[in-house]
Amino acid sequence: MDDRIPWVVKYRPRRVEEVVGQDEAKRVLREWLKQWAEGRVPERRAALLHGPPGVGKTSLVEALAREFDFDVLELNASDYRRKSDIERTVSVAARKKPLFKKGLLILMDEVDGIDPKADEGGIEALVEVVKVTGNPLVFTANDPWREQLRPLRELCLMVEFKGLSETAIVSLLQRICESERLQCDREALKLIAERSIGDARAAVNDLQAVAEGYGRVTLDIVRALIKGRDKSLDIWRTLNNIVYARQAWMAKKAVTQSEIDYETLITWLNDNIPKKYTEPEDLYRAYEALSRATLQLTRSKTTGEWSLLQYVFDLLGPGVTFARTSGTISKERYGFPEKIRLAMQLRTVREIREKLAEQLARNVLASKSIVKNEIIPYLTIIFRNTSNPVMAARIAIGYRFDKETVKFLAGPNADNIIKTIEKIRRAKPEEVKNEKIEERVEVKKQPKVKEEKTVKDAKSKSTGSLDKFLKRS
Amino acid sequence: MSVAELLWVEKYRPRTLDDIINQKEVVERLKVFVKERSMPHLLFAGPPGTGKTTAAHALAHDLYGENYRQYMLELNASDERGINVIREKVKEFARSRAPEGVPFKVILLDESDNMTGDAQQALRRLMELYTASTRFILVANYPSKIIDPIQSRCAFFRFTPLGKDDVVGRLRYIAEREGVDFDEEALDTIYEISEGDMRRAINVLQAASVMGRVTVETVYKVVGMARPREVREMLKLALSGDFMGARSLMRKLMLEYGLSGEDIVRQVHREIFSQEIKIPEELRVMIADYLGEVHFRLVEGSDDDIQLSALLAWLALMGRRLK
């Protein structure tokens, strides 16, 4: 077998006994499928398996199907969510007879991803299939309590899957270690298990990441790796645990147990909430929570009252989770925050504007805020005018703007202005030189102290929170 | 024609009291101070762009001559970080060399109405402490926001919005000096738009002159462009329910124009009462109300991007309820 194969695939349970925990679910589901296998149609023709990600929903279905010699037709609800898709695929499959095996089981993943608006009629179509299906039909969902799933819930056998205990995950990891002939510390496995928050898939992925990098799994390595390694997996899991949490304590745990610092988490939430929450009401409520979280964070920092932080966690976790009342969770992937990419750029632009405001404030005798609101907008018009770059160029010479300032003011027109400045300089180099001296007399009188201070301020700012925050991420 | 150019508001600023053509009463009284080499603390109050700061500089110029700025401490209450910074600067300045022939130096405190009541109390003590060697000129838009004990210590000067003749006359003078091609009605339009604010009037003229002949049309164009149209676009997108579109415009405003969260909130506030945005009147009030909350959170130091995203998400929700 290729060693590169993900362990989550390699060690996917093949027999029901290999599925970790979930005894109740195993019993109920086996009973249900047995009826189908014996040719009896159960009272409920479909089962809805629900629970957090990575606890064995799909695995158990596959293992049971193998046990009863059923074929499995796996569909992902995100691929077949509209009424017409469902009629084309699921309805057809529901009437099909298996070719070689005893029966055919239809497994449809992630039905909570069907959007009541965008995928109108999807749920209704499924309900119709459930009523008449001649083959066992199994749905899975992270969150089955959505309003739009209600008609489906009423018809389905509801099977709950619980988050896995740490002990269960540790013993799973131990088995893998033995099979891979890996040297594994029990403490290291415990740490991995603890961080997985009941998600076996995540734990196995982490184990593989450590093992492949170091050939052994010790507590030190796990600790170090967790700190130093690319955190995207961690972030992904934290976001997912927040978004899909079913109870407030779960969402809170997702935040407090995450290795991600809260400022990074806030940035990721800021960019990913609109990807996952599509309902305007949900989106607003989530942002209100996020906004209040950042407010509490600032308050806790400025007052030094760290006990206020717990409210930040409340708002980031449950606040975001339960902002969602009706809408579905979009299947769109989590993305790297645009804001982090833009942060550097943004800081530069702001510094240029600030510097310009400070310079002009002295010249036009007004506050920086007046300059920003009453002067810079007009300068921008002058500098962005494409047909007449001369005035802008002359002003740039008059105030000795540097290139960055010209770029800031002129935007896409910057090259035009810069070329014109150079043209003027070449044509009348002497005059440009004299002008500089002549026009700047007043500035020379200004004490230099203020400028030095600005530089200092800018420096102290740059070592401030933004830098830290960039480093952390 | 010289190669370098300045902003016309700087280039055509009156340098002496004699240069100031309007605010006649104020100027006459200030000239007496110059003549007698004596003056009390002063409070200059009036709308923006009516020449308050310019008059203070002209006064100092006439008192101390060309190099007046070494005898004048220029502070801006909205730019300085708190009363303690102001106190330190005043202390240091009071110790500096005294001018010849004038028994005091001048401390110009611009936008002093932006100071809190507590800060003003501290300021009052400063004024008393250094009254032997310095005179304060406090500049404010709203004199009612200056506490009574300060008002009673100052000679009060009210600056009124400039009249049409003054503004149009000045604009014509500048336009002729600069060789700008213009329509007479365009200058009237600039006056109307600038509402007696000379600074804005001159800025509009200079920006319009870049576009060729200054006409009523180019004036309106400049006025429209002075507010990034992205603010309005952003509002419209948000109200139509397109949160992501609105947010990418918001980020563009921050990145390309360097606007801060507060800048954007201010501009949104202006836009929501414009007829360009077609929404029920009561929604304008609701938006203003929520905007105030966002503004407050920003002032408290909360993250720009998140607060504005919250605003846009709220607008998207309001927009959908309208449908």
B184 — pLDDT class (breaks 50, 70, 90)? very high
Determine whether the interchain pair A290/B243 forms a contact, defined as Cβ–Cβ distance below 8 Å.
Answer: no
State yes or no: pLDDT of A214 exceeds 80. Answer: no
Q: What does the DSSP 8-state code read for residue B273?
A: T
State yes or no: pLDDT of A15 exceeds 50. Answer: yes
A4 — pLDDT class (breaks 50, 70, 90)? low
How far is A126 from A139, CA to CA, in rounded Å? 10
A78 — pLDDT class (breaks 50, 70, 90)? low
Interface test mutation site (partner B, options A282, A291, A303, A460, max chain B beta carbons within 10 A): A291
Average pLDDT over residues A256-278: 84
State yes or no: pLDDT of A138 exceeds 60. Answer: yes
Determine whether the interchain pair B316/A349 forms a contact, defined as Cβ–Cβ distance below 8 Å.
Answer: no
- CA-based nearest residue in chain A for residue B66: A442
Element containing residue A74 per DSSP (H, E): strand A70-76
State yes or no: pLDDT of B117 exceeds 60. Answer: yes
- CA-based nearest residue in chain B for residue A466: B303
- The size of the A-B interface in CB pairs under 8 A is 184
Record the tokens describing residue A252, joined without a space: 């809170």
B67 contacts on A by Cβ (under 8 Å): 445
Q: What does the DSSP 8-state code read for residue B71?
A: G
The position carrying tokens 């933004």 is: A466
A462 — pLDDT class (breaks 50, 70, 90)? very low
The ipTM estimated for the assembled molecules is: 0.84
Determine whether the interchain pair B5/A394 forms a contact, defined as Cβ–Cβ distance below 8 Å.
Answer: yes
Say which amino acid occupies A10.
K
pLDDT at A341: 62
Indicate the residue of B222, B300, B316 with minimum beta-carbon distance to A283: B316
How far is A374 from A356, CA to CA, in rounded Å? 13
* Count of residues in chain B: 323
Q: Using alpha carbons only, what angle is made at residue A301 by residues A295 and A304, rounded to the nearest 5 degrees?
A: 130
Angstrom distances, CA of residue A28 to CA of A22, A25, A35, A60: 10, 5, 11, 12
State yes or no: pLDDT of A470 exceeds 50. Answer: no
Which of A224-228, A437-441, B20-24 has maximum average pLDDT? B20-24
A346 contacts on B by Cβ (under 8 Å): 254-255
A373 contacts on B by Cβ (under 8 Å): 263, 266
Of residues A436 and A422, more confidently modeled: A422
State yes or no: pLDDT of A237 exceeds 80. Answer: no
The b/e string for A262-275 (b: 16+ C-beta within 10 A; e otherwise) is bbbbbbbbbbbbbb
Indicate the residue of A287, A382, A397 with minimum beta-carbon distance to B3: A397
Indicate the residue of B6, B9, B76 with minimum beta-carbon distance to A367: B76
A74 — pLDDT class (breaks 50, 70, 90)? confident
Q: What does the DSSP 8-state code read for residue A149?
A: G
Indicate the residue of A284, A377, A424 with minimum beta-carbon distance to B317: A284
B258 — pLDDT class (breaks 50, 70, 90)? confident
Average pLDDT over residues A65-93: 78
Look over chain A and give the mean of its residue pLDDT values, rounded to a whole number: 80
Which of A204-218, B15-29, B201-215 has maximum average pLDDT? B201-215
Q: How many angstroms away from the CA of A153 is the closest CA of chain B?
A: 29
pLDDT at A435: 46
Q: Using an 8 Å Cβ cutoff, are B156 and B61 in contact? A: no
Angstrom distances, CA of residue B236 to CA of A452, B248, B264: 43, 13, 14
Of residues B240 and A148, more confidently modeled: B240
A303 — pLDDT class (breaks 50, 70, 90)? confident
State yes or no: pLDDT of A149 exceeds 90. Answer: no
A298 — pLDDT class (breaks 50, 70, 90)? confident
Average pLDDT over residues A422-450: 55
Of residues B49 and A75, more confidently modeled: B49
Interface test mutation site (partner A, options B303, B307, B317, max chain A beta carbons within 10 A): B303
A213 — pLDDT class (breaks 50, 70, 90)? low
Look over chain B and give the mean of its residue pLDDT values, rounded to a whole number: 90
Share of chain B above pLDDT 90, in %: 55
Q: What does the DSSP 8-state code read for residue A30?
A: H
Q: How many angstroms away from the CA of A346 is the closest CA of chain B?
A: 5
A439 contacts on B by Cβ (under 8 Å): 4, 6
State yes or no: pLDDT of A441 exceeds 50. Answer: no
pLDDT digits (tens, 9 = 90+) for A367-389: 888 898 889 999 999 999 988 89
B138 contacts on A by Cβ (under 8 Å): none
How far is A247 from A249, CA to CA, in rounded Å? 6
pLDDT digits (tens, 9 = 90+) for B166-178: 999 999 999 999 9
pLDDT at B77: 84
Pinpoint the alpha helices (H) of A165-261. Answer: 166-179, 186-196, 200-214, 219-228, 232-244, 248-256
Determine whether the interchain pair B310/A291 forms a contact, defined as Cβ–Cβ distance below 8 Å.
Answer: yes
State yes or no: pLDDT of A450 exceeds 90. Answer: no
Average pLDDT over residues A284-290: 95
Q: Which range among A136-140, A150-154, B208-212 shows the weakest confidence by mean pLDDT?
A: A150-154
Average pLDDT over residues A176-204: 85
pLDDT digits (tens, 9 = 90+) for B266-322: 889 988 988 878 889 999 999 999 999 999 999 888 889 999 999 999 999 998 888
A288 contacts on B by Cβ (under 8 Å): 310, 313-314
Element containing residue B139 per DSSP (H, E): strand B134-140
Q: How many angstroms away from the CA of A469 is the closest CA of chain B?
A: 13
